[in-house]
Structure 1
Amino acid sequence: MVAWCFSVVIALGGLLPLSAYAESELLRDAVVASDSQSEFTLPDYQKVPGIAGNLLSVGSDTLAGMTTLWVEAFKTYYPNINAQVQASGSSTAPPALTEQTAQFGAMSRAMRMREVEAFEQEHGYKPTALKVAIDAIGIFVHQDNPIKGLNFAQIDAIYSATGRCDDAPAINNWQALGVDASWAKRKIQLFGRNSVSGTYGYFKKNALCGGDFQARVNEQPGSASVVQSVASTISGIGYSGVGYRVAGVRSVPIAIQGNDYIEPSRDNILSGEYPLSRYLYVYVNKHPNKPLSPIEAEFIRFIYSAQGQALVDKDGYVPIGRTLAQQELAKVGLSERVN
């Protein structure tokens, strides 16, 4: 989703992230036209002759499954291409694009200003950000944890060392949140992503109001390992993309404030009601006066086709609508191919 400079507003005596409100509004705007069925009827991908060469995507672990599905499906149309996916974290995408060691940079956040500036200094123009799917950050607990929901102030008090959201006392066990269980007095085991992850940065900005994480957060190298760690730890909590839910955990409804909890359902994510919703991106190096290479152009067309967005849904994320797909294609000089 679009990166917003951190800001806060006073709300019911506490500090809440303005970006959470702004990003939800953007998602609502993206589906204003979704009343008609045609908004979600994307064109089928059509194979074209002459596509060959190498295709490399570097970046987000969150997008690893989805990007791999795209690449594997794309290779069924063009079996002679050499396509690879490297997924070590969103922060690896900007240097790969800048140094031209990859054509695509998958990111679960927007590029930071310094990353854009480094690219522009090298190439003389900015990288192009393409919104390819809608995601949400889920808060996961062990399946036996009866907690009904959490609000941003409580999440901040659990995870943060700085308490910027509400300046409330730190919460170290589930008993402090009203959980009545034999294990509730145990210290909460915290799981999260490492600092190269876009999910880490998004959660820090939006759920912790820009504050710092506690040093005892068990940082994991991938989204799946966060959720798997929670599944094996009855007093655990972790944040990860909602698409990574596995047996043994459940996602906790969350509220910006109070106990007006919102489930991370497909409808709530698509409407922007779920407060930790975001866009997922693929960045490309598109010269303003030159076309993309044929393999790059066709891969992007595939992403915005019915087949490409069906794979978004298959991987547990929310596909984008036709209007937004057309807008994103236009950014790189492409348009829908008429069936």
Structure 2
Amino acid sequence: MHKHAGKMARLVSTMALTAAVVLSGGNAIAQVDPGLKDYAKTTGVAGNLNSIGSDTLNNLMTFWAEGFRKQYPNVNIQIEGKGSSTAPPALIEGVAQIGPMSRAMKKEEIEKFENKYGYKPTEIGVALDSLAVYVNKDNPLKEISMEEVDAIFSKTRKGGHPTDITTWGQLGLTGQWANQPLSIYGRNSASGTYGFFKEKALFKGDYKDTVKEQPGSASVVLSVTEDKSGIGYSGIGYKTSGVKAVSVSKKKGEQAYEPTAENVVGKKYPLGRMLYLYVAKEPNKPLPKLTEEFLKYVLSKEGQEIVVKDGYFPLPAKVADKQKEAFLK
């Protein structure tokens, strides 16, 4: 995992200079890099494509599939998004050609893949995400530190907060909020978001038994919308008007940053991440044409415009070109 974390850091640092971000009304709205190339339609693209994996990427995959089918009506794309941990077995068993994941593959997953194929899976970064900490829209909380997030969600408190956090008063809220207990929502262990949050926000600690596990990102957001005392985490693409994404600081007392594109590429927001598609590509052999063209479409200007439409952050052109190298060599 550490090797992948280093790769993520390197990618994000290359993005800092090239991300196109427009500040509008106080919110950073990601815009696609004008350097991204238009998708070039080709001939002979038909058949079935199966995608199994991340729930976070489910809507994105659906939008990409719709856009791709407009180019190629003879293509049938099936998408299943029950969690990132379902992607590696699906690729290994050959029931999926694409495995979306909201975290990097673990060492043991790569080893199982290599045992089957004799080579490693190919990792393609396709979008940027900020994993948001959501509260109800009526909650006055504005910001939170990483050690406080840990003390809310984790029973091990590896982030160093001296006490368990169970009420909103412990986070500085007053009046009727002061003694109100926190109602905690999260994902299940099949989720890449669960794994990423455990590693980054829980400092590799353990979740509390009181976390109400949800089957998908949308249900976490819906739960927090319906529960005034709710707090949960999901990708920024699932944000609705019923919730508020609070600013997060690396440490208590330090500046807290909003989960915007600008703050993710500038490495200021502590829970920024890359979203991936994994494929089985034999070294020195091209991918099947359908899979290759779908990946080219995802990394094109049109594909990255869909990323923005779905509420995530697009890749700068230099980063998109780098990702293409992974499956075109």
Fold match by TM threshold 0.5 = yes
User: 228, 232, 257: which is aligned to 1:238?
Assistant: 232
Specify whether residues 303 and 58 from structure 1 end up closer, same or farther in structure 2 by C-alpha distance, changes over 3 A only: same
- The CA distance in 2 between the partners of 1:23 and 1:279, in whole Å, is 7
Mapped pair 1:316 → 2:314: no
Mapped pair 1:29 → 2:14: yes
SS state of the match for residue 91, structure 1?
Answer: helix
CA RMSD of aligned residues (A): 2.1
- Give the 5 Å matches for 1:49-128: 49-128=43-122
Amino acid at match of 1:305: S
Amino acid at match of 1:311: I
Amino acid at match of 2:320: A
Most deviating of 74-83 and 36-45: 36-45
TM-score calculated relative to the size of structure 1:
0.89
* Residues 19, 262 of structure 2: 8 Å contact kept: no
Mapped pair 1:265 → 2:263: no
Amino acid at match of 1:30: M
Shift >6 Å, 4+ stretches:
35-38
Gaps of 5+ in 2: 22-30
- The CA distance in 2 between the partners of 1:246 and 1:227, in whole Å, is 8
Gaps of 5+ in 1: 7-18, 335-339
- What is the CA-CA distance between 1:333 and the residue it aligns to? 1.8
User: 192, 195, 205: which is aligned to 1:201?
Assistant: 195
* Residues 24, 275 of structure 1: 8 Å contact kept: no
Specify whether residues 34 and 147 from structure 1 end up closer, same or farther in structure 2 by C-alpha distance, changes over 3 A only: closer
- The CA distance in 1 between the partners of 2:47 and 2:15, in whole Å, is 34
User: 126, 129, 151: which is aligned to 2:145?
Assistant: 151
* Residues 24, 277 of structure 1: 8 Å contact kept: no
Render the CA deviation track for 1:37-88: whole Å, top value 9, x for unaligned: 9954211112211111111111000000101000111011111111111100
* Residues 128, 332 of structure 1: 8 Å contact kept: yes
- The CA distance in 2 between the partners of 1:330 and 1:266, in whole Å, is 24
Specify whether residues 192 and 38 from structure 1 end up closer, same or farther in structure 2 by C-alpha distance, changes over 3 A only: closer
User: 225, 244, 254: which is aligned to 2:219?
Assistant: 225
User: 298, 305, 308: which is aligned to 1:303?
Assistant: 298
- What is the CA-CA distance between 1:25 and the residue it aligns to? 5.8
Most deviating of 111-120 and 140-149: 140-149
- The CA distance in 1 between the partners of 2:19 and 2:102, in whole Å, is 24
SS state of the match for residue 172, structure 1?
Answer: coil
Amino acid at match of 1:314: K
- The CA distance in 2 between the partners of 1:24 and 1:274, in whole Å, is 13
SS state of the match for residue 63, structure 2?
Answer: helix
Amino acid at match of 1:308: G
Paired residues, number: 319
- The CA distance in 1 between the partners of 2:202 and 2:32, in whole Å, is 38
Amino acid at match of 1:246: T
* Residues 31, 321 of structure 1: 8 Å contact kept: no
* Residues 266, 318 of structure 1: 8 Å contact kept: yes
- The CA distance in 2 between the partners of 1:5 and 1:216, in whole Å, is 32
SS state of the match for residue 182, structure 1?
Answer: helix
TM-score calculated relative to the size of structure 2:
0.92
Specify whether residues 39 and 229 from structure 1 end up closer, same or farther in structure 2 by C-alpha distance, changes over 3 A only: closer
- What is the CA-CA distance between 1:311 and the residue it aligns to? 0.2
Render the CA deviation track for 1:304-330: whole Å, top value 9, x for unaligned: 111001001100111001111111111
Mapped pair 1:325 → 2:320: yes
- What is the CA-CA distance between 1:139 and the residue it aligns to? 0.5
SS state of the match for residue 17, structure 2?
Answer: coil
